[in-house]
Structure 1
Amino acid sequence: MTKIRLLTVLPALLVVVTAALGPTLATRPAEQAAGIPFARPGADAPLGTDRIGRDVLTQLLYGGWGLLLLAAVIAVAVTALSCVLGTVAALRPRVGAVIEGAADFAILLPAVLGILLVLTSWPDAGVYGLLVVALLFGTPYCARVFAAAAAGVAASGYVEAAQASGETLPHVVFREVIPNLREVLAAQLGLRFVEGVYVVSTASFLQLPTTLGASNWAVMVRENAAGMLLNPWSVLAPSLAIAVVAVSVNIAVTSFEHRRPGAPRRWATRRTRREDAVLDALEG
């Protein structure tokens, strides 16, 4: 089963590694012309040329790292914030009600509209504005998922013992509950990465953030769409790169989520004597 999971994520790993090493693998500068616009694949340009005669393969090698790195940053930020908020919501019902309402609002308002509103009203935001949009629209829904997962852990005996012994909320959140959400954390991290790829690709396709570079994959799709019939690879190559990462990560996350759930286990630190005494009293 582990080998199957590795095979599902292997295409994404290959694309990510190629994107990271892309600038060192390229045989010419990104902006150097390699032939006439939309030329067919040949010896000098294995994937042909784009709208201004640049090598599509070189553009592909240069254009992936910034997009994937920003998607990874979005995934980590949204998952981390959502995990903390969801855990707090499971321990504090009033906070849970606020997150529930925010999630309903985020679901009803399309993320693309949020991207347009934020980045057009804050034109110098660049990738920071895109990160803000991802946090605003991704965190409420993800936090609801963590709140549902943390509810069962919060009802466990050792969490009740920690609360009854007077432990602070940060201690219960970070030492008692979150370590038992590792599987949910890993699954949501993968899903948020896929969502981050979609958000960054959409914003780049609309040419809203200006700091990802002119050769990123989404911009390549947008700029070369007019010449797709002349050289299909100028559009298909970056589209396939985005799709392979998104689909393979999504498949890997799905297979991970279908593992048989077990009873909550305490992965956190050792109990204090005070917690042991309270837990013994609760069990007795």
Structure 2
Amino acid sequence: MKGLINYTINAKGRLLDLSEPQVMGILNVTPDSFYAGSRKQTEKEIALRADQIIKEGGSIIDVGAFSTRPGAAVVSSEEEMARMRHALEIIRKQQPDAILSIDTYRPEVAEMAVEEFGADIINDVSEGGITGIANVPLANNGVEEYPAMFRMVAKLKVPYILMSVQKDIHDMMIGFSKEVQQLRDLGVKDIILDPGFGFGKTIRQNYKLMSEMEKLREMELPILVGISRKSMISKLLGFTADESLNGTSILNTIALQKGASILRVHDVKECVEVIKIVSEMLK
């Protein structure tokens, strides 16, 4: 697409070209994710969802075993690990060639997923350890020169999605600059930036960030946007998450125009349609 970063990530020897927008389909193996339609816990539900993501045009399956929404219940590392293993066993059997992204802020969960199941990407919502559940600081933040997750990703040699919890584009770019340099110092090669819509931000701050998101392109790294059915849509419009597909498609359209390379969504088919239309317009 015109204007996108010419960037290819290496997912365990498989190259994913991000010069064309990619769709990351969400597969939550949690009982309490904010959007009930994304919760998949039985073997049949997980297998069907994995098939659906790939069939509808998704190129990445993002697996989450711990809800990070505001007010979510804290899940132990052991519970998250057990849920993740359960899901990955099923997904690897059902879609053995799928590119898998692991949505976690815990280094030990990332390590298990990569070493036991060959997971391809780590999607860290904590900005390297600043926050776990949305807006809740993690213990011991800032003690280590290099955050534990940064060191783990360097060890695992997998692409890393660095999500910001900063409130505005100015602070976000300052934080990203420091963190990207830390990751480079450790030898991490493939870094994807996520502005973190909904994390540490009010509704107004979310929309202000979207209006200025093209500034992130100065980092010369691919950008992931995850706004699917989030409260920045439902609260603004007075809807529920179930009624927020139209708003999601509108914001995904804007995100593509501002340089997003990956869209993380619940509704893969509709997102693929958005990409086709916007891509044709921007040729």
Higher relative contact order (CA 8 A, sep 6+): 1
Q: Which band: TM-score by shorter chain?
A: under 0.3
> Which of 1 and 2 has greater Rg?
1
Normalized against structure 1, the TM-score is what? Answer: 0.25
Q: Which has the higher helix share?
A: 1
Q: Which has the higher strand share?
A: 2
Normalized against structure 2, the TM-score is what? Answer: 0.25
